[in-house]
């Protein structure tokens, strides 16, 4: 009897096991938050060093002054009142009725403040015109000319309301990202030089 051994079934070659590489060292799930400590420190500094530029226009300014006195003492919150001028201020508090005649001055002084800058609208007149909203000479809210971060309602608000508004603003500063706040799509050369004086023509350029 011819006994022929059965053919051995073909076996696929074993898959090549890749050489295990050492796992790179990571910060875990907190790796994406690596720049967070720097943002926290910068926001902490802005939060507790607000130099106030008071724009008192009417009776609400008296409540602002009361909030800065010893009884309420908003300096304990890191708010320094009465900055020498807009170039040294971080926070503008508009307290009182903004008229159309005063609106350009409010906007001009706001633009002179350095970035980052914040605005608290203090009182009904500053928020929406208050009892004078239908007057031909009253601006219907300071937010029509400058951006407002916190609104404090009341006519006039008590000093405690201003303290609450300052705390709300500090909470906003603590969690803000300046990159998101001031991110732009890019500026052209024409936009950057639009407000500059044109240089004199070079000698012999027209010859």
Of the candidates 81, 142, 83, 152, the residue with the CA atom closest to the CA atom of residue 107:
142
> Which segments in the chain show pLDDT lower than 50?
17, 21, 23-32, 34, 185, 187
**What is the C-alpha to C-alpha distance for residues 42 and 36, in angstroms, rounded to an integer?**
10
pLDDT attached to residue 30: 43
Alpha-carbon distance values, 139 to 1, 130, 132, 172 (Å):
116, 10, 9, 26
- 155 in a known ligand binding site: yes
Mean pLDDT across the chain: 74
Structure-block tokens of residue 44: 């902490």
pLDDT tens digit sequence for 59-90 = 888 888 888 887 877 778 878 777 777 888 88
The pTM score is 0.66
Structure-block tokens of residue 122: 């203090």
Alpha-carbon distance values, 187 to 33, 115, 116, 181 (Å):
29, 18, 19, 16
Distance of CA 94 to the CA centre of its chain: 17
- 128 in a known ligand binding site: no
């Amino acid at each position: 009897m011819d006994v022929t051994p059965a053919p051995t079934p073909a076996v696929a070659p074993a898959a090549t096991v890749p050489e295990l590489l050492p796992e790179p060292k990571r910060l875990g799930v907190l790796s994406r938050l690596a720049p967070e400590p720097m943002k926290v420190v910068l926001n902490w500094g802005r939060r507790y060093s607000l130099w106030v530029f008071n724009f008192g226009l009417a009776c609400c300014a008296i409540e602002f002054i009361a909030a800065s006195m010893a009884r309420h003492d908003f300096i304990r919150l890191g708010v320094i009142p009465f900055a020498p001028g807009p170039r040294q201020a971080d926070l503008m508090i508009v307290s009182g009725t903004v008229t159309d005649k005063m609106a350009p001055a409010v906007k001009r002084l706001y633009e002179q403040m350095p970035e980052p800058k914040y605005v608290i609208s203090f009182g009904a007149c500053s928020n929406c015109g208050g009892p004078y909203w239908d007057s031909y000479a009253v601006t219907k809210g300071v937010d029509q000319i400058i951006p407002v971060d916190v609104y404090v309602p009341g006519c006039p608000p008590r000093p405690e309301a201003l303290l609450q508004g300052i705390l709300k603003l500090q909470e906003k500063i603590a969690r803000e990202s300046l990159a998101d706040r001031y991110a732009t799509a890019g500026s052209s050369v024409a936009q950057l030089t639009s407000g500059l004086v044109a240089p004199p023509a070079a000698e012999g350029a027209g010859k």
